[in-house]
Structure 1
Amino acid sequence: MYWKKELKKGKQFLADKELIKALKCFESAVNNCPVTSAAGLEKSLFFLGITLKRLGRTESALRCWHMGKHLISESKSRRMIREHSNRYGMYVQTESEQDEDKIAFISLQLERYFKTKKAQRFCSEAERDVILDILQTYWSEMLSDGEIHHFSLDEKIRFFREQPVVFPVADIDSLRNPSNEIIYTDFEKGTRQSMTDLCPCGSGMLFSQCCGRIISPIELESGKI
């Protein structure tokens, strides 16, 4: 069968360290393997994952192994998942528990953010930078509170999901200003925020007296902001 030939060729390319050729062969094997051949499909996905891992595409590799883990009872894909996944089920990128927590928090919140977008992804580098900066700010505040250090894994995931991160709904690119003027945005309405409007935080105060206030030089110098 054609898919078996592709699988065999891919394994030879993999042994010869010709990773791009191996990748194409394993992809072809997966696409052409009949669904009735669970063992063949699992093997093709397993080697496709190995190749992707060696190419540095670790998340794609893990996805392949997850696709193959239930196809047969003695799946090699399951072993790879156990060896290369952290406690959140993501590919191991760091030995630091705090870094793992941060990546999990960002992932859960990005998932929520992308659900609000038709494109389901970042549409520009400007948008990506703004959203990641927002998440970094929330993460830093959570760390300073110290609350998550005593949570179990289940509690952390629930806590990360429940964080009321406020994302801008306006097109980030439309907020660029060549004059470098600071532009305040009402994230709920996706419109420019006027200093004389009520603050969107819900305080009932004017924006200029609340979240949009100007920090005085004395406050900046003393650090009491």
Structure 2
Amino acid sequence: MASHDAATALRALRSAVAACPATDRAELARRLYWLSIALRRIGKDGLAVKALSNAQRLAPRSRARTLYERFANGYGMPKSSCVEHDDYRAFCSIQIRKYLERVPDGRFADQDEIDTVLTMIADAWLKLYASTAISSVDCDEKLRIFREAGVAFPALRETRAARPGRVIVADFYRGRTQRTADRCLCGSGLPYRMCCGRIRPLYESDTV
């Protein structure tokens, strides 16, 4: 990889992942691992973490797991320089998705709308951070706080009368809903919040 252009390698690795049979879990995990390396080299850390997340689920004892735990934070997002920034990005992603659930097309109309919503979220974060001991609680409690927090978004345009319901993941073995701290049901061994229940940044596409 070091002697090859990362963009060229990325195209080849994406094709290799697409061509790999889903039944060959070890080989698919290996290809996703190398795809994540190429994605990181061109600055696409979000997609790199997604590729690693998929790889480590397929092969929990592989290099992909080690690299994923190094590069992903407790929310399953790319790790930043400090915990507070990790917290804010998780809060921001949750609130943006809440807002977009209210608009008919599920996307921003223009840059002015983006700027207004981001400003509202930033203001809400500062108030939340000042009034809550965020830094003293664990990741699971932070997620509960972030999801319960409401942001008084202005009526920038027509909104839906009712928001879609949130998908509830059930752990039938334990006879209750899946908690963020529980081991993920996929068998990866990671907490649900870092695996299948990780916070997905808005820019993250469905494919890598």
What TM-score do you get using the length of structure 2 for normalisation? 0.69
1:85 aligns with 2:69: no
- 1:1-225 mapped onto 2 (5 Å cutoff): 14-94=1-81, 96-171=82-157
Deviation at 1:129, TM superposition (A): 0.5
Q: Name the % identity.
A: 30
CA distance in 1, matches of 2:55, 2:94: 24
Matched to 2:36, the amino acid is G
Q: State the Cα deviation string for residues 8-36 of structure 1 (Å, max 9, x = none).
A: xxxxxx23130111000000001111122
Pair 154,72 (structure 1): closer, same or farther in 2 beyond 3 Å? closer
Matched to 1:121, the amino acid is R
CA distance in 2, matches of 1:109, 1:171: 17
**Aligned length in residues:** 161
Deviation at 1:188, TM superposition (A): 9.5
CA distance in 1, matches of 2:136, 2:20: 48
SS, match of residue 58 in structure 2: coil
Q: State the Cα deviation string for residues 102-141 of structure 1 (Å, max 9, x = none).
A: 1121111112222223443333211110110000111111
CA distance in 2, matches of 1:73, 1:87: 17
What TM-score do you get using the length of structure 1 for normalisation? 0.64
Whose relative contact order is higher, 1 or 2, with alpha carbons under 8 Å and at least 6 apart?
Answer: 2
Matched to 1:40, the amino acid is E
Gaps of 5+ in 2: 162-208
Deviation at 1:169, TM superposition (A): 4.3
